[in-house]
Amino acid sequence: MTDVRSAPAGMLRRGELRLGELLAEGGEGRVFALPLQPHLVFKEYQHPFSRDHLRDLVSWPEGGDQLLAERVRACASWPTAVVEAQSPRGASAALSLAEGVVMPRAPRRFALRHRDGVTRLATLSYLTADPAYREVAYGIELPAAFTPERLGIVYALARLLEAFEKLQPAVGHGDLSAKNVLWSLQRGPEVFVIDCDNCERFGPDGEPGSQEGRRRAMTPNWDDPAVAPGSNPGLEADRYSLALIFLRVAGAANFPVQARQRQGQAITIEFPVPRGYASEVLLGPAAPLWDMCSRGLSLSDPGGRPPASAWVAELEAVLDAVGAAGLMRAVWATQDGGPTREHRVAPAGGGADVTIRPVVAPPRPAPPRRLVAATAPARSNAQPLPVPQTAYPLFHEATSPPAVSRQFADGVVIALRWWLGAHRVLLRPATGARAGRRWGGQLALCAAVDLAGAAVGLFIVAMATAPVLGI
């Protein structure tokens, strides 16, 4: 069996892979585990296409700035090998098709465990709503709106997109939606971008490098309204996504803007900044961050949207001003490198169709203690198979079994306390002339209590397992 890492020129045959369990299935294809390479997965396409584009993606990070290439490998599920389809008999080798790609699996730290014991990918969906509601719904504690941790997550994503833009040729993802950007705070603010086989390379003139005319995926409510229907996103689409992600992640809210933008409306957004450490730095309407975000969301001048390197520079200034320089260093460490040596300054002007006005945040209402039918946030493009009470299987470490529910554990504790209390009462030391007879009666009562408890326990177990066994 061929080891993926030793495959020549990033090419493999389907027969050279030992496929494991089916992990996920969606509109683009299916994802399989690779038992011999547990840190990798195989994505099999529903409709194979020319392999040349994928081969270019596999080799893209190599040969350029190695620090930027390491950043890509640390923060993105970048394709590592193309899996060829068997060419039809008599067909030219140039017409060979790609049946799929091999990509890194999401590290286990990019996961969140709900109170019911189910583990799911830590997508940006968790961060785009009031964290108090998320805690009530899923039992997950999340950072409050506009905390340094949230700014650090956007900062980590901006650094990855900076590498996408600076490596030559430049690369655009095109679908930076909540389901395709994972995050973690275990080692510091981190991101892990998936579905990178959707990326496109662009020349210095901004023209795509692929000539196949393939349609690239874009997620509703996260797509760039400046992209014409039937067209593919360019580099400017990632810059729009970065500005939108900043609003939604830093502000812990959805901020719906695309529908109004498609209607040609001018947009004014009042962005709530909490009182305290951030107010003095960020409440000024002339603060560069708000102007840069306005231009990033602009439809009147998509070409004037600030590059990712401008976001990196401005977020570094903000994090330093609020005393969170340690978070920046944590981001550098997790991305296998230090600060970027050079940042491109965002050009002034433009963005007149979008205005972002920082305001003092009012107190958020407390959520109800019970949320009915809470739905899980959006997950990756390939939806997991419906396996009850199991962890989402797209991590390269083995997931732990589901935790016992809190209600059941509380019931067990109550039953044990009752059992111990009853035995303490029944087995009190007997004194006097009839001590032996009393002691024998107490033992008989304890045996009767234990027998009754065992009968009740067996009945409960039988009722719980009968549906599973088909009885």
Q: Which long-range contacts (CB under 8 A, 24 or more apart) does 88-95 make?
A: 95/50
Q: What is the pLDDT along the chain (471 residues), one digit of tens a residue?
A: 444 444 444 788 887 889 999 988 877 889 999 999 999 999 999 887 778 888 889 988 776 788 899 999 999 999 999 998 765 554 554 457 889 999 999 999 999 999 999 999 999 999 999 999 999 999 999 999 989 999 999 999 999 999 999 998 999 999 999 999 999 999 999 999 999 998 999 988 888 877 666 778 889 999 999 999 889 999 999 999 999 999 999 999 999 999 999 999 999 999 988 877 666 677 766 678 899 999 999 999 999 999 999 999 999 999 998 889 999 999 999 997 777 766 665 556 666 899 998 888 888 777 776 554 444 444 333 333 332 333 334 444 433 333 334 444 455 556 666 666 666 666 665 555 555 566 566 677 777 777 777 776 676 655 554 443 444
Beta strands in 261-347 (DSSP E): 267-273
Rounded to two decimals, what is the model's pTM?
A: 0.76
CATH number of the structural domain 1-105: 3.30.200
| Angle made by CA atoms 441, 444, 448, in degrees to the nearest 5 | 140
Query: Could you tell me the two tokens for 266?
Result: 């001018």
Strand partners, 193: 76, 181
Strand partners, 32: 22, 42
Dihedrals φ, ψ of 172, to 5°?
A: -120, 135
* HSE value, Cβ hemisphere, 13 Å, CA-based, for 142: 34
pLDDT of 454? 76
pLDDT of 435? 56
Residue 168: partners with Cβ closer than 8 Å, 6 or more residues away: 64
pLDDT of 350? 60
d(CA 237, CA 228): 11
d(CA 239, CA 302): 9
pLDDT of 11? 80
Residue 363: partners with Cβ closer than 8 Å, 6 or more residues away: none
3-state SS, residue 112? strand
pLDDT of 385? 32
Contact 328, 338 (CB under 8 A): no
Centroid of chain to Cα 426: 56
pLDDT of 90? 46
Query: Of 1.10.357.10, 1.10.510.10, 3.40.50.1820, 3.30.70.3420, which CATH number belongs to 106-208+216-403?
Result: 1.10.510.10
